[in-house]
């Protein structure tokens, strides 16, 4: 029921042991050379060049390949050749598991089919974002996975509205937020009206009735839902090569009459969601630009 990568799927199902998976990962690490190492292997640059470029990366927020071109250590054509060679030589985890005798080729095909079926529910749908947002693919994943988890974990029927840029937002229903750091940075906030919070708590606690639960438990359930959604966003983003770390969720409390202003250096994007019976949810992303 969660976003997984193939190796984890196999260990969780007990198809391969964690020891065999580690052997396969080690084989991958030996065979899948990093860009700099591949460029050295192809005779384009030296290890000293890699060290110089790594030092330059401390003061220059660029990918190694682009930096090597900027420093005139590689030509753009050579960079393309190196990337192409990396793709050609890439050893995927399934192939590595066959090579370390953890799986037969036939079993690999069967497991890949089962994995695709398991993950089909997380194939991204197109989400429309306002113009001018950087790293759009990550924020599309964030909204899309929230919608999918609201359907699959909470069982809500809802209608998402078009996302809009906001400079402030009201805080009455806001409960939980999580900070994303890494290749991109943002705060993810989930705002939900009372009945929606209770629906989330019922699903997280697996209880039919939560009326007698203290507010602390309801809030904790919503925080946990946000934690699960954001962990799965990080997992999905990592499949596209985007590294995201999440911090533990926090409760946000603010008086209803005091709107929260989007901080300087961030752009606020609101994703309003209408639930039956007039209940509401809103996701707000405060994206560092």
Partner 1 sequence: MQKVLIVDDSISVARQLEKIINESGDFTSAGHARNGAEAIKMNHLENPDIILMDMNMPGMDGLTALRSLMALDKEVKVVMVTSLGGVGDKFTEAIKMGARNVISKPFDAENILRIIRAL
Note the residues at the interface with partner 1 (CB under 8 A): 1-5, 7-8, 11-12, 14, 18, 21-22, 25, 149, 153, 201, 204-206, 216-217, 220-221, 223-224, 227-232, 234-236, 238, 243-244, 246-248
Rounded distance between C-alpha atoms, residue 24 and residue 22, angstroms: 5
Rounded distance between C-alpha atoms, residue 142 and residue 258, angstroms: 27
Rounded distance between C-alpha atoms, residue 12 and residue 2, angstroms: 12
> Least separation, in Å, of the C-beta of 211 and partner 1?
16
Nearer to partner 1, 74 or 190 (CB): 190
Burial label for 19, CB within 10 Å (0-12, 13-18, 19+), is: exposed
Nearer to partner 1, 102 or 235 (CB): 235
Nearer to partner 1, 166 or 186 (CB): 186
Rounded distance between C-alpha atoms, residue 226 and residue 232, angstroms: 10
Among the listed residues 125, 141, 133, 173, the one whose alpha carbon sits nearest the alpha carbon of residue 244:
141
> Least separation, in Å, of the C-beta of 136 and partner 1?
21
- 280 and 194 Cβ atoms separated by less than 8 Å: no
DSSP E strands, the chain: 158-160, 164-166, 168-169, 174-182, 186-192, 244-246, 250-251, 260-261, 266-275, 280-288
Nearer to partner 1, 86 or 238 (CB): 238
Nearer to partner 1, 211 or 216 (CB): 216
Nearer to partner 1, 112 or 217 (CB): 217
Rounded distance between C-alpha atoms, residue 128 and residue 274, angstroms: 17
> Least separation, in Å, of the C-beta of 72 and partner 1?
32
> Least separation, in Å, of the C-beta of 79 and partner 1?
25
């Amino acid at each position: 029921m969660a976003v997984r990568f193939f190796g984890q799927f196999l260990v969780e199902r007990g198809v391969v042991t964690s020891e065999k998976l580690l052997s396969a990962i080690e084989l991958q690490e030996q065979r899948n050379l990093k860009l700099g190492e591949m460029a050295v292997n192809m005779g384009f640059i030296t290890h000293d060049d890699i060290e110089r470029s790594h030092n330059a990366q401390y003061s220059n927020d660029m990918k190694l390949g682009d930096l090597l071109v900027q420093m005139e250590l590689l030509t753009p054509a050579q960079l393309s050749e190196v990337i192409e060679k990396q793709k050609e030589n890439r050893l995927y985890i399934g192939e590595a598991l066959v090579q370390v005798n953890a799986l037969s080729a036939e079993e690999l095909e069967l497991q890949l089919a089962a994995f695709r079926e398991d993950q089909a529910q997380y194939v991204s749908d197109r989400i429309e974002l306002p113009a001018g947002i950087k790293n759009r693919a990550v924020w599309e994943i964030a909204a899309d996975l929230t919608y999918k988890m609201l359907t699959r974990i909470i069982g809500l029927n809802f209608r998402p509205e078009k996302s809009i840029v906001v400079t402030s937002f009201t805080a009455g229903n806001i409960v939980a937020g999580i900070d994303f750091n890494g290749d991109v940075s943002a705060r993810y906030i989930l705002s939900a009206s009372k009945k929606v919070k209770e629906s989330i708590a019922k699903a997280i606690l697996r209880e039919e009735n939560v009326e007698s639960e203290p507010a602390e438990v309801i809030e904790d359930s919503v925080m946990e839902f946000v934690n699960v959604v954001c962990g799965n966003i990080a997992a999905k983003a990592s499949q596209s090569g985007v590294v995201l770390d999440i911090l533990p969720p926090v409760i946000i409390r603010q008086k209803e009459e005091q709107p929260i202003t989007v901080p300087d250096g961030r752009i606020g994007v609101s994703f309003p969601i209408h639930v039956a019976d007039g209940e509401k949810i809103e996701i707000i992303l405060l994206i560092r630009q």
